[in-house]
């Protein structure tokens, strides 16, 4: 009881002060994104076509804009990252309307190369579909029916009407005075929207399957009914719709578009099915194209069908409906690794070889060249006029980059394993070759690389850095291994340090090795004595640390969901200096001056970190004078916030989060820490919006400050 009393009294005090807490952006701290390239279509859910552009709702990347003026050479020209998972899209004028799980995002695409979100509307359920007509957008929400939004001012969508429907509202089409809703197990629902402020359900037509997509043409609604294929519903009398015909497609019908006498069905693993509906009572398939992906969304314009085919936008020519022909597809590279040399960034683009980007002006980074490799480019290192690529199962590739606009492969060495990382020093490339250990390859003649020696590691070699006569090897669950490579023909392990998780990327500066240790964060290992490396400090990340780069007193970590900047002036106590949560999956990082360059799977991104490396009073060598739980940043916040605390003497620190009822909802840390200033991220993505409280309590070994506790209010807004 006494414990609760102390907690609640702190809560009351903080509630009284809540009006004094400013609101900050929730995705970054002291780090600014200045450039993003290679917006990737990773999981295409739906597509809409307007004029010369296709607008793609992508699970991971948000809205992609593809120039389809020449259907045989489509090109991604712009992207607008959006929160949540983009599920459906409609286009009207210069605006794209994208729905994700949480609502509607309105994107101004007047400049297709730089689409910008200008408005949004949050819903209380899972938003599944959107249709736009005139000044209104019609949203369907899985268990909450139809919402009508007034979008004459795209920056401020306003709900003006709604109606509940039976079943799960999954798709919508607008025609005349009616909205036609694919209502899951209830089939097709018809809603009169003559008065947008008072929409009303006027009819249903039960279908045998699970209605998830709908298109309307003339007096007929065409329903994608999952395992029951295409159903044709007569809606001449909207109050009494009835099924007139059907075609049972071979796959799972997710989406449908209609033009003239043909219905085009996105039939998941059976690709595109072309159905002649000239006789609605007896639809018949006349052609098909079995795509390599999973067709879920479809649009038609002129003689081309645009398919959302899982990992790409696929364009099919249907000028001859009996013989649909694939004319092109559009996706993009996966960005896995990055290194810098001079004014250029060299990107390991996984299934698309290497890309060269001019970064002389970081804010205007521009792709200028590429070289496709036969395998999966996981990492790249540059020495003199050559880029060396760890290319997965095709080993080490040597690429001449003397002319960065026209790089060309000149030689290779096919390592026995899976080349996933590398370092180059002098005349040697040190290749992290997975289960085949560390391979030392002589590249004195880049046209004829040859293996000179190897180290048979106890674990999967996933990262490597070289300094002096030593290679520092990230060896998976076998930790950090220190290998003497003074004789490249006979590398010898001289020491190791077991770490709590998978050792991946490695960087070395001075007497320290910095290891990206996946979900155990960044580990700092003292390698003053290579035969006895010892972990000296660490910083827990919010997600999985894959890559790391060091410059001066700062470590830059590719932490899966973004970039973390840590002050490591005192290697024993790394502290957070800045971060930026991205929309991709960060695997690699490079740094030059105040700029960090991130390989973010779907994007190559450039960040200005000048503020992070010049934060005042960020001296980890200065011991705090008292225990303190400092204000969190940001607060209020969207999905995560950083908790800051100070410890003047060693002690057991406990941070926990409570709700308004005083109930603990999660523990943050509960461990012994040395004197210093610390920060810890609270990931609240799975928590509901509302007021929370962070409580810090201390127990010291000698009980000097027994019973210390402090509470801070946190506001989660979603």
- Burial label for 376, CB within 10 Å (0-12, 13-18, 19+), is buried
CB of 344 closer than 8 Å to CB of 404? yes
Rounded CA separation 29/702 (Å): 36
617: confidence class by pLDDT, cuts 50, 70, 90: very low
Identify the residue with better confidence: 624 or 405. 405
pLDDT average, residue stretch 270-278? 98
For residue 623, what pLDDT is reported?
61
Whether residue 13 lies inside any domain: the answer is yes
Last residue of a domain, one of 614, 632, 649: 614
Taking 90 as the threshold, does the pLDDT of residue 97 lie above it?
yes
Residues 324 and 203 in one domain: yes
Query: What pLDDT is recorded for position 12?
Result: 28
Write the DSSP symbol of residue 614: G
Establish if 220 belongs to a structural domain.
yes
Q: HSE on the CB side for 201, CA within 13 Å? A: 19
Residue at 30 is within a domain: no
| Average pLDDT, integer, range 196-203 | 97
Q: Is the peptide bond before 636 cis (omega within 30 degrees of 0)?
A: yes
> Is position 338 within any domain?
no
pLDDT digits (tens, 9 = 90+) for 584-598: 789 999 999 999 999
* Three-class DSSP category at 621: coil
What average pLDDT does range 646-658 have in this prediction?
Answer: 86
Q: Mean pLDDT throughout 287-302?
A: 95
Task: For residues 592 and 629, state if they share a domain.
Answer: no
**314 and 362 share a domain?**
no
Confirm whether 337 is domain-assigned.
no
Q: Which residues contact 67 (CB under 8 A, 6 or more apart)?
A: 52, 53, 74, 75, 77, 112
The reply to whether 582 and 653 lie within a common domain is no
State mean pLDDT over 490-500.
Answer: 97
Q: pLDDT by residue (tens digit) across 547-585? A: 999 999 999 999 988 999 999 999 988 988 888 988 778
Please check whether residues 517 and 544 belong to one and the same domain.
yes
DSSP state of 368: E
Which residue, of 283, 302, 330, is where some domain finishes?
Answer: 330
The answer to whether residue 336 is domain-embedded is no
Q: Are residues 610 and 627 in the same domain?
A: no
Backbone φ, ψ for residue 13 (5° rounding): -65, -45
> Could you tell me where the beta strands, DSSP code E, fall in 51-157?
53-58, 62-67, 75-80, 88-92, 95-100, 103-108, 116-122, 127-133, 136-141, 145-150
Q: What is the pLDDT of residues 211-232, one digit of tens each?
A: 999 999 999 999 999 999 999 9
The answer to whether the predicted template modeling score (pTM) of the entire model surpasses 0.85 is no
| Residue 285 and residue 254 share a domain | yes
Q: Is residue 32 in a domain?
A: no
**409 and 458 part of one domain:** yes
Assign 701 a pLDDT band (cuts: 50, 70, 90): low
Same domain? For 309 and 399 the reply is: no
DSSP H or E segment with residue 459 = none
Asked if 280 and 412 sit in the same domain, the reply is no
- b/e code 175-199 from CB counts within 10 Å (16+ = b): beebbbbbbbebbbbbbbbeebeeb
Q: How confident is the model at residue 19 (pLDDT cuts 50, 70, 90)?
A: very low
Residues 304 and 412 in one domain: no
d(CA 643, CA 660): 19
Question: Which range marks the domain in which residue 270 is found?
Answer: 39-330
In sequence order, the β-bridge partners of residue 682 are: 641
Query: How many other C-beta atoms can be found within 10 angstroms of the C-beta atom of residue 52?
Result: 12
CATH, residue 325: 2.130.10.10
Weakest-pLDDT range from 220-229, 266-275, 303-312:
303-312
Which 3 state secondary structure label does DSSP give 7? helix
Q: How many Cβ atoms are within 10 Å of 1's Cβ, its own excluded?
A: 4
Co-location of 284 and 410 in the same domain? no
- Among 54-68, 218-232, 411-425, 429-443, the range scoring the smallest mean pLDDT is 54-68
DSSP of 165-210: -SS---EEEEETTEEEEE-BTT-EEEEE-SSTTS-EEEEEE--SS-
> What is the number of domains present in the chain?
3
Split at pLDDT 50, 70, 90, the class of 263 is very high
User: Domain of 707: which CATH number?
Assistant: 2.60.40.1930
Mean pLDDT, residues 366-386 taken together? 93
Cα(348)–Cα(335) distance, rounded to whole angstroms? 6
Query: Mean pLDDT over all residues of the chain?
Result: 90
Mean per-residue pLDDT for 437-442?
Answer: 98
User: Domain end: 614, 639, 673, which one?
Assistant: 614
* Cα separation, 79 vs 401, whole angstroms: 29
What share of the chain has pLDDT > 90, as a percent? 71
Residue 638 has pLDDT above 50, yes or no: yes
Answer yes or no: is pLDDT of 640 > 80.
yes
Q: Say if 34 falls within a structural domain.
A: no
């Amino acid at each position: 009881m006494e414990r609760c009393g102390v907690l609640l009294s702190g809560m009351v005090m903080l509630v009284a002060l809540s009006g004094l807490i400013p609101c900050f952006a929730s995705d970054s701290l002291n780090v600014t994104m200045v450039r993003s390239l290679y917006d990737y279509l990773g999981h295409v859910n739906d597509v809409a076509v307007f004029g010369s552009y296709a607008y793609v709702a992508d699970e991971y990347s948000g809205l992609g804009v593809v120039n389809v003026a020449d259907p045989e050479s489509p090109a991604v020209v712009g992207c607008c990252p959006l929160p949540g998972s983009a599920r459906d899209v409609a286009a009207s004028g210069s605006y794209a309307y994208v729905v994700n799980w949480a609502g509607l995002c309105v994107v101004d695409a007047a400049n297709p190369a730089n689409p910008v979100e200008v408005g949004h509307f949050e819903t209380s359920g899972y938003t599944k579909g959107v249709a736009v007509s005139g000044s209104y957008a019609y949203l369907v929400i899985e268990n909450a029916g139809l919402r009508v939004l007034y979008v004459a001012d795209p920056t401020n969508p306003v709900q003006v009407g709604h109606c509940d429907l039976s079943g799960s509202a999954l798709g919508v089409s607008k025609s005349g005075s009616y909205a036609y809703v694919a209502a899951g197990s209830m089939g097709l629902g018809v809603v009169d929207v003559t008065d947008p402020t008072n929409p009303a359900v006027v009819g249903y037509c039960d279908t045998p399957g699970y209605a998830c997509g709908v298109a309307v043409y003339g007096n007929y609604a065409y329903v994608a009914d999952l395992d029951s294929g295409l159903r044709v519903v007569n809606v001449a009398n909207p109050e009494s719709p009835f099924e007139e015909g059907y075609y049972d497609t071979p796959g799972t019908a997710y989406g449908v578009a209609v033009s003239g006498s043909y219905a085009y069905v996105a039939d998941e693993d059976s690709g595109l099915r072309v159905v002649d509906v000239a006789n609605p009572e007896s639809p018949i398939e006349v052609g098909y194209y079995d795509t390599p992906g999973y067709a879920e969304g479809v649009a038609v314009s002129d003689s081309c069908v645009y398919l959302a085919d899982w990992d790409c936008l696929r364009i099919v020519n249907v000028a001859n409906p009996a013989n649909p022909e694939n004319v092109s597809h559009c996706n993009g590279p996966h960005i896995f690794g990055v290194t810098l040399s001079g004014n250029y960034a060299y990107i390991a683009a996984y299934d698309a070889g290497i890309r060269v980007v001019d970064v002389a002006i970081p804010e205007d980074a521009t792709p200028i060249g590429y070289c496709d490799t036969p395998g999966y480019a996981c990492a790249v290192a540059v020495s003199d006029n050559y880029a060396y690529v760890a290319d997965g199962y095709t080993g080490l590739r040597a690429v001449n980059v003397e002319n960065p606009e026209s790089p060309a492969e000149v030689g290779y060495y096919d390592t026995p394993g899976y080349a996933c990382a590398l370092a180059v020093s002098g005349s040697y490339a040190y290749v992290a070759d997975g289960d085949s250990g560390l391979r030392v390859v002589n590249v004195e003649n880049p046209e004829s690389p040859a293996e000179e020696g190897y180290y048979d590691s106890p674990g999967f070699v996933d990262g490597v850095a070289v300094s002096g006569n030593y290679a520092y090897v990230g060896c998976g669950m076998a930790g950090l291994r220190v290998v003497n490579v003074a004789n490249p023909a006979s590398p010898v392990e001289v020491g190791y340090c077991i770490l709590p998780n998978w050792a991946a990327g490695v960087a070395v500066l001075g007497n320290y090795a910095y290891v990206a240790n996946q979900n155990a964060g960044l580990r700092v290992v003292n390698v003053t004595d290579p035969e006895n490396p010892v972990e000296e400090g660490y910083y827990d990340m919010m997600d999985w640390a894959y890559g790391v780069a060091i410059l001066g007193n700062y470590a830059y970590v590719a932490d899966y969901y973004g970039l973390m900047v840590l002050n490591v002036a005192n290697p024993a106590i790394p502290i957070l200096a800045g971060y930026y949560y991205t929309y991709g999956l960060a695997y690699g990082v490079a740094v030059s001056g105040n700029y960090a360059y991130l390989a973010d799977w779907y994007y190559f991104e450039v960040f200005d970190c000048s503020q992070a490396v010049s934060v005042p009073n960020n001296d980890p060598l200065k011991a705090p004078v008292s225990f303190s739980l400092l204000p969190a940043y940001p607060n209020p916040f969207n999905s995560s916030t950083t908790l800051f605390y100070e410890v003047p003497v060693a002690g057991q620190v406990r941070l926990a989060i409570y709700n308004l009822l005083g109930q603990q909802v999660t523990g943050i840390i509960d461990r012994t820490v040395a004197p210093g200033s610390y920060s810890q991220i609270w990931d609240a993505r799975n928590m509901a919006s509302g007021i929370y409280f962070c409580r810090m309590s201390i127990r010291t070994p000698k009980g000097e400050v027994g019973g210390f506790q402090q509470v801070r209010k946190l506001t989660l807004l979603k």
